[in-house]
Amino acid sequence: MAGKPARPVNAIDQTRRMLSLVTYLRERPGARIADVARAFGITEDELVGDLDLLPMCGTSFRGGDLLDIDTDGERIWWHNPAALGEDAAEPLRLAADEATALLVAARAVATLPGLREGDRQALLRATAKVETAAGEAAGASARLSVTFESEGGVFADVDRAISERRRLWIRYYSPARDEVTEREIDPIRLVSVGHTYVEAWCRRSEARRTFRLDRVAEIRILDEPSAPPEMELRDLSEALVQPAAEDPEVVVEVGPGGRWVAEYYPHDSADELPGGGLRITLRTPDPASLRRLALRLGRDGRIVSPPELADSARRAAREALSAYDAPPGAERAVAVGPGEGHEGRE
């Protein structure tokens, strides 16, 4: 059995996953735990946690209506899949607060840019039916509204492109290089690991890449079909990005205040140093991108090797400090942020 989850549990992500898990398990009786966990990009322990919750769900709390799902430690079995069949479900009754929440959410989703028009019309028709059924409770929802962040429109376009198997054009900000680039991508799937990403085949890099949706400055769905090469979906249970074995090796030494680096960066080793520090060995296809990490660490850490990268980081630090010694009114442009130069993430 895998270890503890490598990231905090997000209730929204878990709910979405469990809804998908119900459909997935109905179609795959006797599915192996390892295969299901890999398909959903989670650890086996996270999957077992979901399985512990699913038997508490159903159309009611009467016997036979709850999901009867169990596991023998290797496979997963659903004993009463008919519990959610069309003939088993009774008319849904919503409390006033449930109806209000549902109507507010439905109206908000209907305003998302990029939503397929057929889906929008179907959602509006369903919303009208809920309003009629909710009666007076629908009035309260009319006084509430939800505004999505800009990422919402990007999410809708990416979701639509994946559904319709179409290529995307994006303008994307890469913090590692501090630049905005234009590229065409063939989207593969959406991934939520702290932030929401799209995993795609990048036509500019001719490689698999992951792009954070909130860094997409502009997006357009193209007429060209999406045709990513055949590839195995990666296991994302440990981290979003896993470096390749052939990537250059970088050694970083950190003090007690920099131990967080070992938690956030995939690494080959992390050896204890006197005084509570760590000597961390990691790999990245773009070692220069770790200069940002060195600047962020300040006195809490330093790059040890390769020597040319260590020298480059020291020069960057000196330049950053000299900006603060400049006369009043002189331009000061120092960007310090977390490094994100590992393979596969832009």
CB 108 within 8 A of CB 146: yes
What is the rounded CA–CA span in Å between residue 41 and residue 199?
12
Closest-CA residue to 289 (of 273, 309, 308):
309
Round the average pLDDT of the chain to a whole number and report it.
Answer: 75
CA torsion angle 154 157 160 161 (round to 10): -110
- Name the amino acid, one letter, at 220: R
* Residue 154 CB coordination number (10 Å): 25
CB 24 within 8 A of CB 36: yes
Pick the residue with more confidence: 64 or 202?
Answer: 202
Instruction: Identify the pLDDT of residue 197.
Output: 83
- Name the amino acid, one letter, at 209: R
Q: Is the pLDDT of residue 43 over 80?
A: yes
- φ and ψ of 144, to 5 deg: -120, 150
Q: Who's near 237: CB < 8 A, 6+ residues apart? A: 2, 5, 6, 37, 38, 41, 42, 43, 46
Q: Which H/E stretch holds residue 132?
A: helix 117-134
Tens-digit pLDDT profile for residues 71-96: 877 888 877 766 555 444 455 566 67
pTM over 0.85: no
Q: Is the pLDDT of residue 324 over 70?
A: no
Closest-CA residue to 83 (of 65, 63, 56):
65
Angle, CA of 231, 28 and 241, to the nearest 5°? 35
Tens-digit pLDDT profile for residues 225-274: 999 998 877 655 555 555 666 678 889 999 988 888 887 677 788 899 98
Q: Is the pLDDT of residue 49 over 80?
A: yes
The distance in angstroms from the start CA to the end CA of the chain is 32
Angle, CA of 155, 161 and 167, to the nearest 5°? 120
